[in-house]
Structure 1
Amino acid sequence: MEWSTRPARPDQPFGSWADDLAAAFVRLEPCRTTEEPFAGTICKVDAAPLQISLVSASGHTVQRLASHIASSTDDLCFVNLQLEGLGQTTQRGHEQISAPGDLALADTTQPFEIAHRHDFKLFCFAVPRRLLPDALLDRPRLGLSATATGRALSRTLSSYAELCLSGHQLANTSAMAGAHVAELIAHAPRILAEVPAERVHTPVLLSMMLDHIARRSSDPGLGAAALAAKFRCSERYVHRLFAATGRSVSEHVNERRIALCTRALLDRNAADKTIAEIAFAAGFRDISHFNRLFKRGNGLTPREFRRAAAH
């Protein structure tokens, strides 16, 4: 089964995507994260006891709402194998960041959000909850890209998915592959070993940290120490990663915060906010430091910039 959608009208940026998601998976609410035109495709095959889908789409967010669950009898978990792009899955206050090769799990019987800020591609394994251990559902840690064993597991799952979606296999082949996939996912926590983040491929880890900064720059405590704690590595290793970008952690964070402040100062709806309020909301703690950074980046003080933008 296949679904493909493009925007139909400006007031319907997702076209039939919400209906396509419901037909392929469960009822979900798509939300925009970009003004770029949207396009998405889903290719799905039954591989009892689960279903396997290949999803390719423009960046957006999908939410599983309480209202969806109230009118649903579905009892599934989505186990998504990231192929391209970075994904963020949030459920029960637990956040999973998925780089290519990682798994992320979402239980459809409880609200969740899956966010992609850029184009992405993933395999979705829709697995009955009864086939997965409770420990896996609680706070899943499925960063397969962190270890050689995990990467081997990722390649195995991907190969099974490709085999089932190829369209040339017999029904019993799909069922056999589906059973193996369900077993591998259920035992993934035992297969994976906890390792320091220093063993994650450097480009992947740096991308994850940069994405975290883009999403959390307004956190006043965001810095090298916070990144080290978040990604389970040393501050020294964080600084070494960022040295490859030519800029420090604080420079990346401040650049993002200044961009937020610049947009706020241009926003007529924020005209009633003081410059200090805007700076503090963006994560700055010292208004004098903010003023210096803003002038360095924009050539004008925040006050001069707002005055010039108003004319």
Structure 2
Amino acid sequence: MSVAQKNSAGPAMPSSQEFSSANLPEHLSDRDRFYLWRDIHFAEVGMVEVGISEMPFEATLQASVIGRLTWARMSGTVNRVTRTPQSIRTNSLDAYLLVMNLGQSVIGGTYRRNDVVMETRSAFLDACQPQQFMGGDHNVWANLVLPRKILDDRFARIEERQGLVIGSSNEALGLLHNYLAMVDTISPLPGSALIDHIGDTIIDLVGLETGAKGDDAELANTRGLRAARLQAVTKYIRSNYRNPALSASSIGLRTGLSARYVQDLLASTGDSLSERILELRLQDARAMLMDTRYQEKRIGDIALEVGFNDISYFNRSFKKRFGCSPRALC
């Protein structure tokens, strides 16, 4: 059950690619479009057997290389994925796959003759063993391809966790979902320090969510969870900074952290919570003041809209930040 690199020694695809059934010839029948898509999938990605539901065929494959890892998502009416001993021999992959169900349908099947059920937002660690899984009419399959040596070296006896179903309530898995969503919005340069940091954080979170033990797992708890928690906190702030009642306590309630921990996380970046919120509100107000769509709007109303409840404080803060008053900018 994988969308993976052909050879873990190096990527079989560019740093990012998308392959969609929408790009196939329109004159073909639904069944022929599926056969063509399947053949291209075999050639470009790997030998796994796939089937489709009774719904009209559609499938989109998105894949990104993150350093030594590959992050891939397949959505559409593909509802059956089978890895046979023959396909394993044909497409040998010295890697673990963290397989995730990101759709609304339950995915169930067998893994090495053991029954496996993945509810939505759950995952399991796959070491490329024989398996067959069935989903609903429309599914979102996703996985991370993680070179076996990296995980084996970092987490003692992690191979014993393969086939483990990881529930949606697992904190590290939830943080990993959020972290990967953030990764999808940026394009770090291959070989950069940023891409190395992203890859290390992902590996740490995978080790944590599988319950890996050992000294490296303790280090992962410090590195991976803290980085992902910081990302969750900053994402919540960016989405809610206009709320005048936004505080460390309210952020903590929504992210499952204490107010003190939220403050410590942000302090470690060099900006306090109040500084971060103030900057976002000022930048928002400045953008609105420069936008002709809001030229009839009063400055005080703009200040209130972006989260300020004290107009004098807004004016002072704006002038200190940008070197002119809001009115002068207008």
Gap change, CA 1:190 and 1:71, over 3 Å in 2: closer
- Structure 1 residue 176 corresponds to structure 2 residue 201: no
Matches within 5 A, 1:129-208: 129-130=148-149, 131-132=151-152, 133-137=158-162, 139-143=163-167, 145=168, 147=169, 150=170, 152-171=171-190, 172=192, 173-190=194-211
- Say which SS state the counterpart of residue 135 (structure 1) adopts: helix
Matches within 5 A, 1:281-296: none
- What number of residue pairs does the alignment pair up? 184
Gaps of 5+ in 2: 1-16, 153-157, 214-330
- Structure 1 residue 18 corresponds to structure 2 residue 34: no
Gaps of 5+ in 1: 193-311
Identity of aligned residues (%): 18
Amino acid in structure 1 at the alignment position of 2:37: W
Matches within 5 A, 1:8-157: 8-12=28-32, 14-22=34-42, 25-32=45-52, 34-85=53-104, 86-108=106-128, 110-130=129-149, 131-132=151-152, 133-137=158-162, 139-143=163-167, 145=168, 147=169, 150=170, 152-157=171-176
- Say which SS state the counterpart of residue 181 (structure 1) adopts: helix
Partner Cα separation in structure 2 for residue 182 and residue 89 of structure 1? 26
Runs of 4+ in 1 over 6 A off after TM superposition: none
Cα distance per residue 1:8-36 (max 9 Å; x no partner) = 4354362433244435642111123x322
Amino acid in structure 2 at the alignment position of 1:30: V
Q: CA RMSD in A?
A: 2.6
Structure 2 length normalisation: TM-score? 0.50
Cα distance per residue 1:37-75 (max 9 Å; x no partner) = 111111111112210012211142011122212223322
- Say which SS state the counterpart of residue 165 (structure 2) adopts: coil
Partner Cα separation in structure 2 for residue 164 and residue 23 of structure 1? 27
Gap change, CA 1:28 and 1:81, over 3 Å in 2: same
Partner Cα separation in structure 1 for residue 117 and residue 71 of structure 2? 21
- Say which SS state the counterpart of residue 26 (structure 1) adopts: coil
Cα distance per residue 1:141-193 (max 9 Å; x no partner) = 312x2x4xx1x32331112222332243333333322222122212323289x
Partner Cα separation in structure 2 for residue 105 and residue 35 of structure 1? 29
Task: Look up the match of 1:292.
Answer: none
- Say which SS state the counterpart of residue 160 (structure 2) adopts: helix
Gap change, CA 1:170 and 1:68, over 3 Å in 2: same
Task: Look up the match of 2:18.
Answer: 2
